[in-house]
Amino acid sequence: MSLRLGDDAPNFKAQTSLGEIDFYEFLGDSWGVLFSHPADYTPVCTTELGRTASLKYEFEKRNVKVAALSVDSVESHKLWINDINETQNVEVNFPIIADENRAISEAYDMIHPNASLTATVRSLFIISPDKKIKLIITYPASTGRNFQEILRVIDSLQLTANHSVATPADWKDGERVVVLPSIKTEDIPAKFPKGFELVKPYLRLTPQPNK
C-alpha cells in the first residue's frame, strides 16, 4: 500500500557512506529530508547532492537532517562523493544510504510499476519530528529538484505546525499568511495582534506570526 501524508515514516537500519544508521535515531528530534536517486554517477543527481551539501547551513538552522539514498553500495557511494565534492565544489557531509536490496525503496514506495527497477527511484520525503510524512514529491529522471522550493515547504510546514495559519500560493518566509477557517473572524484580533485583512469571510490574511 502506498504511503500517504500523515503516515508514519518507515524506520530502517542501513549502511551508509557515514556508517550504519537507525533512521529514527539519526533523525532524533529533528525534521528530516529523505531523497532517493536511481544510481550513483548519474549527472542530475550529482548536481542535486552537491546543492544539498551547499545548503548545509540552511538545513541546520531549520533543524533538518538530510539523508540521500541510492541502490548502489557504500563503496560506490564513497567514490561518487569524491566526484561530487570535486565537480560541485562542496563537501558532502550527510549520509548516502546503500539500498542494494531495494528494501527501503520498496518500504517508501519509491519504485513504481511499468518502469525499470531503478529509473523512477527519485522521490523526496519531508518527515516531522514525530516521524510523520508531511510531504512527498516524485520527480522524473530528467528534472532536477528545486531546493529552494524544498526549503520553502519546510518553512511552511514548521510555521503551520505551530500557528493556526496556512500559507498561500507562492508564499515565501516573511510574507502574509492565511488565517485558518476554524478561527472565527471576531477571534482574530486576540490571536493575531498584528492585524488582519478581511478579503472575504473565508479569506483572512495576517502578517506572519513568528516574524
List 45, 96, 133, 159, catalytic entry: 45
The DSSP line for 163-195 is SSEE--TT--TTS-EEEPTTS-GGGHHHH-TT-
As given in the structure block, the three cell numbers for residue 159 are: 510555521
Decide if 107 is catalytic: no
Q: Provide the CB-side half-sphere exposure for 205 (13 A, CA).
A: 10
* Catalytic (active-site) positions: 45
